[in-house]
Amino acid sequence: MNYRGFATRAIHVGQEPDPTTGAVIPPIHLSSTYAQDAPGKHRGFEYSRTNNPTRQAWEQNIAALEEGSYAIAFASGMAAIDAVVRLLRPGDHIVASADLYGGTVRLFDRVWSTFGISATYVDAREPEAVKHAFRPETRLLYIESPTNPLLHLADIAAMADIAHRHNAWLVVDNTFATPYAQQPLTLGADLVVHSTTKYLAGHSDVVGGVVVTRHPELAERLRFFQNAAGAIPSPFECWLCLRSVKTLALRMQQHERNARAVAELCAVHPAVQAVYYPGLPTHPQHELARRQMRNFTGMLSLDLGSAERALEFLRHLRLFTLAESLGGVESLVSHPATMTHASLSPERRRSVGITEGLIRLSCGIEDTEDLLEDITQALNSV
Ligand SMILES: *Cc1c(COP(=O)(O)O)cnc(C)c1O
C-alpha cells in the first residue's frame, strides 16, 4: 500500500503484521540459513548475508521514507559510502563538497586514491565553482547539505542539474537532514546515503548505514557489493532502526524546537561571535533552506572566538555531554577542531572555516527550558 503521510509510512511500510503469528511487530530473524523446498528453490531467503527478512523490512521502510525504490543497508555509514565509490572505476574522478564529514574525506583520499580514484573538493554553495571542478572523467558529484559542522547548504536541484549535464551521478549524504527534513531523490539526486547511526536510529545505540536510489541498475550493483563484500548490519540493528524511525517525525520536531531556541539565545549573547543555523533568518542561505527543507534539525554551531573560550564553555556545560556523533535523543556537544575534524590538516580546517573556537551542538529532545538554562550558564562563564 502507498501511504502519503511520512509518519504513516514510517510506522507501516515493510511492517505488516506477521502472516503466520499475527505479531504486530516484525520479529528479529536471527537464522543464518533457510530451508529450501528443492535444491536452489527457496522463498526469497537462502543465507543471511545475501538477504534477511528483518533487514529487508528495514530496507523497504527507508526506501519509502526517502521516496526511493530501493534501499541497501550496510554495517555503518562509511560502509554505505564505500559501496557507492565501488560503482566507479580506476581513473574516475569525484567532485565533492569542501566540508564533508571527515571520515568521507579519509575514505576518498587515503583508501580509494590508492586504487586510482581521485577527488576534488569545492565550495558546493557556489554552483559555478562546482561546474569548474568537473573533468571529462568525473562520474560522481558527492555533497552533504547541511554540512558538518558549519551548516552550509548546497542547492540540491541545481547540483543534480550540473551532475546530469556532465553525465555524472549526484550523491547526497542526507545524514544531517533525514528524509523527514529533506528528500534529495525528489530534487533529482541519484543516490542518497545515510549514517543511520545519527537521527534515523536516533538513540545513540546503533552504528549503521544505508544507500537509497530509484535506479534499478545502480541498486542491483549495490546489492551485489552488499553480498560480495559482506559489510551487512545485523538483524537486531535493522530492527532497532525500524523501531526508531517510527518516532522520527516527532523527534525531529522537538530537535528543531530546541535548536531554534538555542540558536536564538546564542544569536544575542555577547560571548558568541557567530551562530550557524539554517533556521535563523540571518543564515545567509535561509531562503534555500526554506525551499528544500521542511525542518531545520537539531544541529547548530557557535564560534566563541578562541580555543580557550571554547574549552571554558565545554567545562561548564552540565546537560550537554561532550561526545562525538549527533542526532540522538540526548544533547551532545563537540569541539570539531580537536574531535570530529582532528584528522584534517590544520590548513585544510582553516580553509573550510573550522576555527579553534568552533563548538558544534546536537540538541536532543529534552525540555527546551533545561537546555536554555545549561547553555546560558555555560556562556555566562566564558
Ligand atoms: C557519522 C557520519 C558518517 C559516517 O557514518 P558511520 O555510521 O559513523 O560510519 C557519514 N556522514 C555523515 C554526515 C556523518 O555524520
Mean pLDDT of 345-350: 85
* Cβ(149) – ligand 1 distance below 6 Å: no
Looking at this protein, which amino acid is placed at residue 104?
A: T
pLDDT for res 350? 85
Q: By mean pLDDT, which of 56-60, 88-92, 103-107, 242-246 is the weakest?
A: 103-107
* Cβ(334) – ligand 1 distance below 6 Å: no
Is the torsion defined by CA of 244, 248, 253, 257 positive or negative? positive
Annotated catalytic, 3? no
Is 0.85 topped by the overall pTM? yes
Domains of the chain: 6-245 (3.40.640.10), 248-381 (3.90.1150.10)
Cell 558549519 sits on residue: 150
Neighbours of 224 (CB within 10 A): 13
Mean pLDDT of 57-76: 98
Q: By mean pLDDT, which of 17-31, 190-204, 205-219 is the weakest?
A: 17-31
Digit-coded pLDDT (tens) for 2-39: 678 999 999 999 999 998 899 999 999 999 999 999 99
Mutation pick for ligand 1 pocket among 142, 198, 204 (CB with most ligand atoms within 8 Å): 198
Terminal CA-CA length for the chain: 55
pLDDT for res 349? 86
Mean pLDDT of 110-121: 98
* Cβ(328) – ligand 1 distance below 6 Å: no
Measured by CA distance, the residue closest to atom 2 of ligand 1 is 195
Looking at this protein, which amino acid is placed at residue 7?
A: A
Q: Compute the distance from residue 14 Cα to the ligand 1 centre, in Å.
A: 25
131 burial level (CB within 10 Å; 0-12, 13-18, 19+):
middle
Per-residue cell: 255: 530537535
Three-class SS state of 161:
helix
Residues whose CB is less than 8 angstroms from the CB of residue 369 and which lie 6 or more positions away in sequence, other chains included: none
Measured by CA distance, the residue closest to atom 6 of ligand 1 is 77
pLDDT for res 361? 98
Per-residue cell: 51: 538477504
* Cβ(142) – ligand 1 distance below 6 Å: no
* Cβ(82) – ligand 1 distance below 6 Å: no
Mean pLDDT of 64-85: 98
In angstroms, the Cα distances linking 207 to 44, 201, 284, 309 are 26, 8, 33, 32
pLDDT for res 237? 98
Neighbours of 43 (CB within 10 A): 10
Neighbours of 325 (CB within 10 A): 15
**Choice among 49, 131, 243, 246 that is catalytic:** 49
Annotated catalytic, 318? no
Cell 538555542 sits on residue: 262
**Choice among 155, 173, 190, 374 that is catalytic:** 173
Q: Vertex 205, ends 325 and 52: CA angle to 5°?
A: 120
- Going by pLDDT thresholds of 50, 70 and 90, the confidence category of residue 351 is confident
**Choice among 9, 99, 101, 303 that is catalytic:** 101
pLDDT for res 99? 85
pLDDT for res 1? 58
pLDDT for res 346? 87
Q: Is there a contact between 361 and 355 (Cβ–Cβ < 8 Å)?
A: no
Helix H, strand E, coil C: the string for 291-307 is: HHCCCCCCEEEEECCCH
136 burial level (CB within 10 Å; 0-12, 13-18, 19+):
exposed
Mutation pick for ligand 1 pocket among 78, 105, 150, 334 (CB with most ligand atoms within 8 Å): 78
Element (H, E) at 195: strand 191-195
Mean pLDDT of 256-285: 98
Q: Is there a contact between 233 and 78 (Cβ–Cβ < 8 Å)?
A: no
Digit-coded pLDDT (tens) for 138-175: 999 999 999 989 999 999 999 999 999 999 999 999 99
* Cβ(97) – ligand 1 distance below 6 Å: no
In angstroms, the Cα distances linking 279 to 163, 186, 207, 255 are 27, 21, 28, 12
- Going by pLDDT thresholds of 50, 70 and 90, the confidence category of residue 352 is confident
Mean pLDDT of 267-281: 98
pLDDT for res 79? 98
Annotated catalytic, 173? yes
**Nearest Cα to Cα of residue 136 among 166, 174, 100, 107:** 166
Q: Is the pLDDT of residue 104 over 90?
A: yes
